[in-house]
Every structure is written in structure tokens, then in C-alpha cells.
Amino acid sequence: MSTENEVGAAPAEGKITDEAIAAAEKMIGLQLRPEGPYLQDATEDTIRNFCNGIGDLNPLYRDLEHGRLTRHGSMLAHPMFPMAFGWVGRTRWGLPGVHGFYAGNDWELFRHVRPGDRITAIERVVGVDVKESQFSGKLVLQYVEASYANQRGELVARTLGTCTRHERKAAREAGKYSDIKTHEYTPEEFAHIDETILREEERMTSAHVRYWEDVAIGDELPEIVRGPLSLMDTMGFLVGCGRGHTHGVIFKNAVKHPGHFFRNPEAGGGIEYTGIGHHRESTAKEVGVPGVYDYGPQRSAWMASLVTNWMGDAAFLKRVRTQMRRFNTMGDCTWARGKVTNKYIKDGHALVDIEIRGENQRGELTTPGLATVIMPSRRVDIPVFFDGSRLDLDLPVVR
């Protein structure tokens, strides 16, 4: 059977119509097929490789011997490792031909992932909302909830993923970001970036215990930087998540879901995914972005690393929420920063709330968010060993 005409010569130019919105709303409550799955098994190699894909240097997530000497008795996976199973909030349902952008995640974590664990997920549609934007006019917000479990059926994490859907033509013609140019760094700026990168490891709390009693409201977390963004960064994230599929694998997916793929003339008519704008400037501009841009899940993981660097091996990241407010295009830096906003005791746990934010080299807020950390305490009535399953923050599903 010929499939020559089933995949278009360019990304589809779908419309946000009342009928398309109504069809998407009818999907609320439905469970989605797993996106891949890509990486299910947590091993020493896959855990480390994921860290390579997000630039995380924390020895707890990279070094088997370091992990064996911690209270965990093992190296652990980075808290965002379940992303390797599937990027919650990606464009996967409804509104055919309408481009989607990852808009953020709100994670609640319950257990560590360790070497030997196998991750599965149940993802379901939980909400649809319609709004107006300067970027493309009418847009649709889509919400999915994913629950990740290990091979014992224990809940590892639960997350609310958000995706924004925009008409490609409307975003292109609006030209909201058309005046953004690649930043030209001064030698002084490069020196600051380089020093921050090279000092990141020495600023980690790591094996030193940071106690709840030693944390004060207003404390600033040591900043980290990711960038200037390059193709090495975006391609590395794909590899870290096990997404190096090519040739026949891509073609079979394109035949099954032709609206998500197209024959790119820049590749001689080769099949490419509509999200190739993360790597091709021409495709990025077709959807209203001034140039190649980062993967939102990767940026969310950077913000989590800001917190895990600070909290140390003995703490537990309970919640991390990030929102993508601006595009992070080729050559941009993301400076991840945070400040303690509250500390309290709940259900026998010593907790710290942190306001986190990602800012680019222009000082623009690109990634606001928040985090909650369970800290070790000197109080004898608070247990030494704990995990997040003993505390439920009872987060609302859609907000």
C-alpha cells in the first residue's frame, strides 16, 4: 500500500475551531497510551545518562560508590528521571494540526527511583481551557495527569502536565518574538558563566547534612547556569531520554500519525517530526519562534537540579513546579535561582518552601516556579528515615 501522500510536505496548518475544542473536551477522563515508552528501566547507566542529558553533576545521581555510602545505600535517580518514560504535557491528543508547546509541570514525589526499578505510568486527560494570548491570539490549554509507579506497584510520582496549543499561521503572523536576536556575550559575561559552571560542584551540599534548623526564610540558593544553549544541549537531552529513533521507526510512526510528521524539503523530503523546530531554525520560525529553542522538560529538570544541589543527600524533594513563560532560544542562558519563603512542620516532617525562578541573560523571567523539600531535623520527635509517601500535599488536579 502506498503511503506517499499520507505525510504532508509541510506541517499541517490546523485551526482552533469550536468543533475541535468540543472534541478535545470530550476526551477528559480518557487514559492515553504511553508516549514511548522510551526508558523504563533504571540502571546505573540510564540514571547517569539522564543526568548527562540535563547537565546534572550531583554525585548522588552519578556515582555508585558515593550512593552506597549515603543513608540510601545506593545511588539514586534524579527526581525528574520519570521524564525519560514520557514528557507529560506534550502535544498528543486533540486539535489535529494545531502546534503545541510544553508549558510546565507540577510534580509531587513520593519515593526515590533506584537502580533495578522499572517505571510504568498511567496518563489521563484532566482538563481543557481556552484563552487569548499575544503570541497567537486564541490558544488552548490542555492538562494531563500522570501517575508513575515502580515494579512493586508503589507510587513514585504524580504530575500535572500543561500544554499550550497555537495555530501555526497565527503565531507566525503575530511575530511577538520577531525582534529577538542571538545574544552577543562580552568577555566578562563569558567569564561569569564559566566560573559559575566550574564552581557548581563545590557549592553542592551533597554529603554534608543541611538541617531544617539551619535554614532561614530569605536564604538564597547558590545559583546555577545552563547555557548558552547549543545543539549539544538539545540533542543531549534527547539521548538522555532514550529518544534516538530513526529511519523505519520514524516512518512507521508517521504513517500511523501523519499529522505529527512532514516531509521536510531541507532534508530532501525526509520524514521529520513537527517538533524539529528544537533543531531547525526554519521550522521554529514557521511556528512563530525566532530560532531553535530548548525542550521545556529539560528546563524543568534544570530548575529541579538547583534545589537538589542545595538540599543535599539527606533531604527529599517533595514538590517542584515550573512554568514556561518565555522561549529559551539558541544562545540563551538560563540562570536558575531560588529563595526560601517558608519553613514549617507538617505531619511529623520538617518542610521548607522555596520560590524558584529561571532568568535569561537579559534579566527576563522565563521560568517561575516553586519547590517543597523535606529536610532532616535535629528534633528527636522527627524520624531520621523518611520518604515522600508519608506526606501527601493533596495538590489540586487542575488550577
pLDDT tens digit sequence for 388-397: 777 777 665 5
* Range name among 97-101, 112-116, 218-222, 308-312 with the lowest pLDDT average: 97-101
Percent of the chain with pLDDT over 90: 65
**Does residue 98 sit in helix, strand or coil?**
coil
Q: Is residue 4 part of a domain?
A: no
Q: Is residue 139 part of a domain?
A: yes
The count of other CB atoms within 10 Å of the CB of residue 290 is 19
- Are the CB atoms for 100 and 165 separated by under 8 Å? yes
Whichever domain contains 310, its CATH number is 3.10.129.10
Structure confidence by residue, pLDDT tens digits, 37-60: 678 899 999 999 999 999 999 999
Structure confidence by residue, pLDDT tens digits, 332-386: 999 999 999 999 999 899 999 999 999 999 999 999 999 999 999 999 999 887 7
Q: Is residue 233 part of a domain?
A: yes
Q: Is residue 333 part of a domain?
A: yes
Structure confidence by residue, pLDDT tens digits, 112-170: 999 999 999 999 999 999 988 877 788 999 999 999 999 999 999 999 999 999 887 87
The dihedral over CA atoms of 85, 90, 93, 96, expressed in degrees to the nearest 10, equals -140
Q: What average pLDDT does the structure give for the chain?
A: 90
Task: Quote the CA–CA distance of 364 and 354 in Å, as a whole number.
Answer: 20
pLDDT of the residue at 221:
98
Domain count, the chain: 1
Look up the domain containing 263 and give its range.
18-390
Question: At residue 399, does pLDDT exceed 70?
Answer: no
Q: Is residue 9 part of a domain?
A: no
Omega cis (within 30) before 368 = no
Cell of 235: 540533542
Q: Is residue 217 part of a domain?
A: yes
Q: Is residue 318 part of a domain?
A: yes
Omega cis (within 30) before 37 = yes
pLDDT of the residue at 142:
95
Q: pTM for the full model?
A: 0.92
Task: Quote the CA–CA distance of 338 and 373 in Å, as a whole number.
Answer: 13
**E strands, 240-290, in order:** 261-264, 270-273
The count of other CB atoms within 10 Å of the CB of residue 143 is 22
Cell of 232: 549539544
What are the residues whose beta carbons fall under 8 Å from the beta carbon of 54, sequence distance 6 or more?
78, 80, 237, 240, 298, 301, 302, 305
Q: Which residue has the cell 503575530?
A: 174
Cα separations in angstroms, 381 against 26, 111, 311, 349: 49, 22, 21, 10
Omega cis (within 30) before 228 = yes
Q: Is residue 399 part of a domain?
A: no
**Does residue 25 sit in helix, strand or coil?**
helix
